[in-house]
A and B are shown apart, each in its own frame.
Chain A
Amino acid sequence: QKEVEQNSGPLSVPEGAIASLNCTYSDRGSQSFFWYRQYSGKSPELIMFIYSNGDKEDGRFTAQLNKASQYVSLLIRDSQPSDSATYLCAASGGGADGLTFGKGTHLIIQP
């Protein structure tokens, strides 16, 4: 059974600080990892994806992958109130394999 684990939160971070979101995955065959943002009552929106060990940066967002530890993280720098949402971590084995999502971490950015 493939699983992706996330702390459900809520994670409260002051505006302007760095928000750190983490997840672990059970299937060592997972090849690709994704972070989706979901605002309340809305559908998920892709923020970042990462395939290789190390860091990948895109604007204020940095995704980190450590396949040996089966660990994925998302850092959000200069957090804004608009970043308040649920962040879903997902893993895929590639090809037609559907995504396995975690339950999501509820992030609150305090003004």
Chain B
Amino acid sequence: DAGVTQSPTHLIKTRGQQVTLRCSPKSGHDTVSWYQQALGQGPQFIFQYYEEEERQRGNFPDRFSGHQFPNYSSELNVNALLLGDSALYLCASSPGTDANTGELFFGEGSRLTVL
């Protein structure tokens, strides 16, 4: 049973560039959430996708956008990268709308470095 998979695992970008991160949820899960974890901090909620729509969004600017595909996989896009966007980006999946969405299964993350 494949867990949550993310790609790429590491990447380096320069300020002003754009990045796309990808996530495949755990088998049987249809809800995908994205979190940003800066060094020494807890994860911060970016947004959640269900049925290809953004259901909830945290306190992140519009430079952060996402998409969910019919197969439940998801992408996180960040435009106009800033140095402060350097972090571990975590994708988490959970099953269904009625399930408690706090019971999350996390992928290993994509570590983004912005120079």
Chain A residues within 8 Å of B, Cβ to Cβ? 4, 32, 34, 42-46, 49, 51, 88, 90, 92, 94-104
Contacts and interface: CB of A to CB of B under 8 A. Distances in A.
SS of A interface (majority): loop
B88 to A, nearest CB: 8
A104 B38 CA distance: 12
Contacts of A99: 35, 43, 45, 101-102, 104
A-B pairs with the 9 shortest C-beta distances?
A: A98-B45, A101-B42, A43-B106, A96-B55, A96-B56, A92-B102, A34-B102, A103-B42, A101-B43
Given A34-B102, A97-B56, A98-B56, 8 more contacts: A34-B103, A43-B108, A45-B106, A98-B46, A98-B48, A99-B35, A99-B104, A101-B44
Interface residues of B, number: 27
Interface of B: 33, 35, 40-48, 50, 55-56, 58, 90, 97, 100-109
28 contacts: A4-B42, A32-B102, A34-B102, A34-B103, A43-B106, A43-B108, A44-B104, A45-B106, A46-B104, A49-B100, A51-B100, A92-B100, A92-B102, A94-B101, A96-B56, A96-B101, A97-B101, A98-B35, A98-B58, A98-B101, A99-B35, A99-B45, A99-B101, A99-B104, A100-B45, A101-B42, A103-B41, A103-B42
A99 to B, nearest CB: 5
Residue among B44, B97, B100 having the largest count of chain A Cβ atoms under 10 Å: B100
Nearest to B50: A96
A98 B60 CA distance: 13
